[in-house]
Amino acid sequence: MHDRLAEGLSSIIGDPARVLTVPNVLERLSHDFYWYSPILRTKLADKKGEVAVQPVCLDEVLAVLRYAGRHEVPVTARGAGTGNYGQCVPLEGGIVLDLSLMDKLEEITADGIAVCEPGLRLGVLESEARRQGWELRMYPSTLVKASVGGFLAGGSGGVGSVAHGGLRDFDTVRAFEVLTMEEEPRLVLHEGAAVQEILHAWGTNGILTRIWFALAPVVEWVQVTATFDTYMEPHDALGHESRSGIHLSPMHLFAYRVPGAVSPPA
């Protein structure tokens, strides 16, 4: 089955080298960090796509989806594979649609909207945005490796959400262009409230091909670590800092006990 599938896809992709069937490559592209969960580890370990395809443009994605629709082949979208819940794991074999090569940043508009393809890495976007006087409103701990499309399809918030809310808040995601999975796929623009239909849907109701993502004015952040004896102390301290006009964005609260018997070195 996979030989016939690979042959068919190779005929519609500009470079057949981007149709991948090598077993260890398929194994890597068929999984994320699902194995963090002892439950998912047993359920997903043997799941794998039959073929992986790496399109580089909208027309190639359209051709793959049209082929898959006509031949009733399952398609699983993949960003950078940094998720923890098996979102990119193909449960029924078929095609792994690896969007990592669709990584263009088209522009950052004068009002701070990044227009990009889904495979653009968040770290790359952050670097370019800061160069132009903007920064990401929020980002996951996997900033360097995660893709914009994967974050929007599988994430909900991150560092910066204290100030800017989650991905569903404050018009952070302005619009998507999405290809439907049909015998004749349609390119659909979701904007305004309609973006909620696509956010955090893991690519199950359409393939992201273009994204409008709002940024924030750049801030030269200073990272600080503080320790407190009780839970209320950081609450009171942060309230004081906010009232003092200090801008707070990324914050983490860790609870642990420091051993009191450890003496400083002489």
Are 9 and 71 contacting, i.e. CB atoms less than 8 angstroms apart? no
Cα gap 265→121, rounded to integer Å? 44
How far is C-alpha 242 from the geometric centre of its chain's CA atoms? 31
Q: What is the pLDDT of residue 261?
A: 46
Other Cβ atoms within 10 Å of 146 Cβ, number: 23
Going residue by residue through the chain (266 aa), what tens digit of pLDDT does each one get?
Answer: 678 999 999 999 999 999 999 999 999 999 999 999 999 999 999 999 999 999 999 999 999 999 999 999 999 999 999 998 899 999 999 999 999 999 999 999 999 999 999 999 999 999 999 999 999 999 898 999 999 999 999 998 888 888 899 999 999 999 999 999 888 999 999 999 999 999 999 889 999 999 999 999 999 887 777 788 887 887 777 766 656 666 665 555 555 555 554 455 55
Question: Per the structure block, which two tokens stand in for 163?
Answer: 């100030």
Q: What is the pLDDT of residue 262?
A: 47
Question: Which residues are CB-neighbours of 178 under 8 A, at least 6 positions away?
Answer: 187, 188, 189, 190, 198, 205, 206, 207, 208, 209
Strand residue runs (E) in 67-146: 75-78, 95-98, 105-108, 113-116, 134-136
Residue 28: its H or E element: helix 23-29
Q: What is the pLDDT of residue 253?
A: 53
In the chain, the domains with their CATH numbers are: 2-98 (3.30.43.10), 105-217 (3.30.465.10)
Q: What is the pLDDT of residue 9?
A: 97
Cα gap 235→237, rounded to integer Å? 6
Cα gap 263→197, rounded to integer Å? 56
Q: What is the pLDDT of residue 237?
A: 76
- Global pTM reads 0.87
Question: Per the structure block, which two tokens stand in for 37?
Answer: 């969960």
